[in-house]
Structure 1
Amino acid sequence: MTNFSLIGAAGYIAPRHMRAIKETNNKLISAYDINDSVGIIDSISPHSEFFTEFERFLDHAHRLKRCPSAELDYISICSPNYLHLPHITSTLRLGCDAICEKPLVPTPWDLDELELVERETGKHVYNILQLRHHSEILKLREMIARDTSQNKYDVDLTYITSRGKWYMESWKGDPRKSYGVATNIGVHFYDMLHFIFGKLQHNLLHYSSEKKAAGYLEYERARVRWFLSIDENDLPLDVRGIKPTFRSITVNGKELEFSEGFTDLHTVSYQEILAGRGYGLEAARHCIETVETIRSASAVSPKNGEGHPFLPNLQRS
């Protein structure tokens, strides 16, 4: 068994990590969160230690090093975005490898810092880039690779995931902590687009507010119009009141069906990491550069059909 600990145990995504640890036949030794609403642990790993103070969590982890069979091997990080960097560096300096949710860090300069700490400690950082393991994404990537015409595909990416009033009151609604909606809910899509269509060539922002953003990305093999939102009013009429989420990717007008198959992707990610095939810092650099550019950009008017179909509705509102 490999020994794990988890930072951010009360968060939305933490149960997927807990299940991945269990489903790969490994052991969750301990968990930490400032919030004690972590009853999910009872159904997954009821004997794990739990801490609400980071100092006590670290002290416990250090004492485990006295017993080789209990010493931690990995720490999984599901904490708020702005805490990823200090939690990763603490993990590496503790002598553990880190598995971290997206966005890994907000800027390429933070990635450079993590590279330094990796060299100092001899430990490694792995990013959860689960869409790279989705069967439909892999099929599309293979199809693009087989296409020798080098034509660019026309892609529309639309992701609307309704969030209630709590969202803006939480750390996710604070751009200093979440880095804004395009980063918080979009970074894994930008990674997916790079994974499929190659190097990014152009990055334009058309609209940005605290709840939604839109823009244009051009890759080696694709022209992408994108729209992201947490506002339920942006849901298409045929979805509104029925489902809280609308996810659509069209490639040359054809819908990519990938609404299913997400359940086990964290477990697959863990299997790959444990087998030595995990995605490290450099794999994350492209999407981090993408979101850093979007955050710092000023919105421009779209031209030559580069605007997402939902954009006119935003400009009229």
Structure 2
Amino acid sequence: MKRFALIGAAGFVAERHIRAIKETGNELVCAMDTFDVMGRMDSYFPEAEFFSSEEELVQFLQQSNDNGKPVDYVSICSPNYLHIKHIELALKNGCEVICEKPLVIDPTDLDKIEVWEAESGKKVNNLLQLRHHPNILMLKEEIEQSDKDFFDIDLKYITSRGKWYFKSWKGDVEKSGGIATNIGIHFFDMLTWIFGKVQKSNVSVYEATIASGELVLEKAKVNWFLSLDANDLPEVATKAGKRTYRSIKVDGKEVEFSEGFTDLHTVTYQKILTGNGFGVEDVTESIQLTEEIRGFG
């Protein structure tokens, strides 16, 4: 049984991490968030310590080390711009790291992480859960076994957001990285993982709520479209009462992967705990790409 701490416990995605810790048979010993109403903890780890400041968390980690009961992992679910700070905090206190996407906003921070990893002997793992989606794994296998050398890809991801979004850190490009980083990075990672490194990138539109462009990868040309606007939802989504729409077409054929997302954090944790997590070298391509796309904004 591994001992976990979690930073950013009040955020939407944090519950998936808490559940993954529970479902993999491990223990959340403490959680930290500046928002201090944390009733969700009672359903999973009611005995866990809770802190509302980083100082209290660091003190707990140090005391745990001194008492011979160190915290093994720190799961990071804080806002994107704080990831680099919290990664440093975890590594310098002797903990392995599991961090939500994007690992960092600025690609130059990846070099810092590699230095800290070398100094601490610990690893930083990133949540790239699409790489564990059964249908995406099937697609990767099909592409690897195909006689074709080059493919045409159409990616559309529309996830409508209310007015609150643009008043939160998510709507601040300096804190979230903007639309390509905050909502698009999983898809860019998945596409470069399957179809190879970026050869060329053209951005047609880059605004706060919408972005589109064309990528040329080693094995594919990708037309991509991202939106936070409900008006961009297709009729098939609105008729079904859905506010999110995902579509990837490979040579005109739809790849179905709209379901199965909620369980992928547990699968990811299982992989990480057996030494099969995705690290800095895995995320570099997509983080560099999203910075380049953001430069068109």
Asked if these proteins are the same fold (TM beyond 0.5), I'd say yes
3-state SS, counterpart of residue 65 of structure 1: helix
1:124, distance to aligned residue in structure 2 (A): 1.1
Q: 1:22-66 CA deviation, whole Å, 9 max, x = no partner?
A: 111000000000011321111011111001111111111111112
CA separation in 1, counterparts of 2:84 and 2:145?
Answer: 38
Alignment deviations for residues 172-215 of structure 1 (CA, whole Å, 9 cap, x no partner): 00111001011100001000001111121111111011111111
Structure 1: how far apart are the matches of 2:272 and 2:147?
A: 32
Q: Which residue of 2 aligns with 1:65?
A: 65
- Residue 240 of structure 1 deviates from its aligned partner by 2.6
User: In the comparison of the two structures, how many residue pairs are matched?
Assistant: 296
Structure 2 equivalent of residue 111 of structure 1: 110
1:220 maps to which residue?
Answer: 218
Give how far 1:109 is off: 0.9
Corresponding residue number in structure 2 for 1:198: 196
Q: Specify every segment of 5 or more residues in structure 1 that has no aligned partner in the other structure, as ranges.
A: 299-317
Q: Distance in 1 between matches of 2:113 and 2:90?
A: 11
**What's the counterpart of residue 83 of structure 1?**
82
1:164 to 2:178 alignment: no
Query: Does the alignment pair 1:291 with 2:279?
Result: no
In the superposition, the TM-score normalised over structure 2's length comes to 0.97
Q: Distance in 1 between matches of 2:226 and 2:220?
A: 18
Name the CA distance, whole Å, in 2 between partners of 1:92 and 1:188: 24
Pairing 1:181–2:179 present: yes
Q: What is the RMSD of the two structures over their aligned residues, measured on CA atoms?
A: 1.1
Q: Deviations over 1:261-317 (max 9, x none)?
A: 21211111111111011111101101101101101136xxxxxxxxxxxxxxxxxxx
Identical-residue share of aligned pairs (%): 53
Poorly superposed stretches of 4+, deviation over 6 Å? none
Verify the 8 A CA contact 2:216 2:222 in the aligned structure 1: yes
TM-score, scaled to structure 1: 0.91
Q: For the Cα contact (< 8 Å) 2:152–2:251, is it kept in 1? A: yes
Pick aligned residue for 2:232 from 226, 231, 234: 234
Q: Superposed, which structure 2 residues align to 1:1-317 within 5 Å? A: 1-68=1-68, 70-150=69-149, 152-240=150-238, 242-297=241-296
Distance in structure 2 (CA, Å) of the matches to 1:189 and 1:37: 33
Work out the CA distance in 2 between the residues paired with 1:248 and 1:45. 37
Report the Cα distance in structure 2 between the residues aligned to 1:228 and 1:52, rounded to whole angstroms.
35
Contact 2:140–2:194 (Cα < 8 Å) also in 1: yes
Match of 1:314 in 2: none
Shift of the alpha carbon at 1:239? 2.4
- Contact map agreement 2:84 2:104 (CA 8 A) in 1: yes
Name the CA distance, whole Å, in 1 between partners of 2:170 and 2:37: 18
Code of the aligned partner of 1:292:
E
Letter of the 1:48 partner, please give it. A
Please tell me the residue identity of whatever aligns with 1:99. Answer: I
Query: Given residue 18 of structure 2, which amino acid in structure 1 is its aligned partner?
Result: M
